[in-house]
């Protein structure tokens, strides 16, 4: 079973079952080593960089992000 197939099956569950599954999955991340967490962040950064390079993501200047955050407070 692929991750996509597993995801589709999980999303077909009722809300209580999905919440329970999400809770268990999040808890499983607590046991990752610092090296594993670092590797996951590297992979995420590479994925995001590739999305930007491909034109599939829009970047927002930090000043604008901070201004929006301040306006929400």
57 and 48 Cβ atoms separated by less than 8 Å: yes
Determine the average pLDDT of the residues in 23-36.
Answer: 93
40 in the same domain as 20 = no
What confidence score (pLDDT) does residue 66 get? 96
| pTM, entire model | 0.58
59 in the same domain as 37 = yes
Q: What is the Cβ-side half-sphere exposure of residue 46, based on CA atoms within 13 angstroms?
A: 6
10 and 21 Cβ atoms separated by less than 8 Å: yes
What confidence score (pLDDT) does residue 46 get? 98
What confidence score (pLDDT) does residue 20 get? 97
What confidence score (pLDDT) does residue 25 get? 94
67 in the same domain as 43 = yes
Q: How confident is the model at residue 3 (pLDDT cuts 50, 70, 90)?
A: very high
40 in the same domain as 14 = no
Determine the average pLDDT of the residues in 11-20.
Answer: 97
28 and 22 Cβ atoms separated by less than 8 Å: no
């Amino acid at each position: 079973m692929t991750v996509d197939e597993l995801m589709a099956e999980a999303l077909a569950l009722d809300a209580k079952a999905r919440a329970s599954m999400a809770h268990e999955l999040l808890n499983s991340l607590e046991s990752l080593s610092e090296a594993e967490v670092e590797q996951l962040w590297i992979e995420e950064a590479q994925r995001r960089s590739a999305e930007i390079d491909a034109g599939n993501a829009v970047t927002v200047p930090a000043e604008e992000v901070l201004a929006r955050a301040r306006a929400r407070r």
